[in-house]
Amino acid sequence: QSVLTQPPSVSAAPGQRVTISCSGSSSNIGNNYVSWYQQLPGTAPKLLIYDNNKRPSGIPDRFSGSKSGTSATLGITGLQTGDEAGYYCETWDSSLSAVVFGGGTKLTVL
Amino acid sequence: EVQLVESGGGLVQPGGSLRLSCAASGFTFSSYAMSWVRQAPGKGLEWVSVITGSGDTTYYADSVKGRFTISRDNSKSTLYVQMSSLRAEDTAVYYCAKAPGCSSTSCSRYYMDVWGKGTTVTVSS
């Protein structure tokens, strides 16, 4: 059971928009910054979003992040087949003094 | 080019020990916190531990506390994790990652911007 809750899977057609939710509590998302990672099959995770809504250099603006209260959301527009991957949210938990991940969401581009 | 290369993985018996290494290059190693993250077969990501740039502060996941020890040698730009009392549930790919948002005073901006390719640890008799 992960501290952060994500839907196990989402799907959408190419070119469409999808959102992935991440729910936590005041000890983690509510008072700390959220990051998002993409993990393509058989590869290491890659940072997509940090500080709730910032994109590292090289990440296209099709990817966006937002946070409200104790929840965060990753948005992906203009879906491509290459976006099929696992997506994970992550943040610091001040009560645990530990990093916590969501369980991961598998994105299928139909 | 910023790069992290893990090594030291392998097959170990339950109750055994193993030390993983992560060689860093392309950035000022001592300036950044470093982390270990693992992924069991077919499972999600699980954070293991973080150590600040100076090495003065460490944090651990409850699942490894008391069994794993994270350390670093800034003169060699290398991160380590000493794993002992290994269990079957420690079987995973272990990744090291650079964690620029974590300092000795706060990890509230925690994120991992560079990852290695991982090394596989299998705990089995």
What digits encode the pLDDT tens for the residues A58-92?
999 999 999 999 999 999 999 999 999 999 999 99
Q: In which residue are the tokens 């000795």 written?
A: B104
Give start and end residues of each alpha helix (H) in A1-110: none
Contact residues on chain A for B112, CB-CB shorter than 8 A: 35, 37, 45, 47, 90
Contact between A38 and A85 under an 8 Å Cβ cutoff? The reply is yes
% of chain A at pLDDT higher than 90: 97
Interface touch A102/B44, C-beta < 8 Å? yes
Per-residue pLDDT of chain B (125 residues; tens, 9 = 90+): 999 999 999 999 999 999 999 999 999 999 999 999 999 999 999 999 999 999 999 999 999 999 999 999 999 999 999 999 999 999 999 999 999 988 888 888 899 999 999 999 999 99
Mean pLDDT of A43-69: 97
- Chain A closest CA to B50's CA: distance in Å? 9
Nearest to B61 among A45, A47, A98 (CB): A98
Give CA–CA dist B97/B83, Å, rounded.
17
Scored b (16 or more CB within 10 A) or e, B65-87 reads eeebbbebeeeebbbbbebeebe
- B114 forms bridges with which residues in the sheet? B98
Q: Which residues of A touch B62 (CB under 8 A)?
A: 96, 98
Of B110, B115, B118, the CB nearest to A92: B110
Facing B109 at nearest CB: one of A33, A96, A97: A33
Number of A/B CB contacts below 8 angstroms equals 78
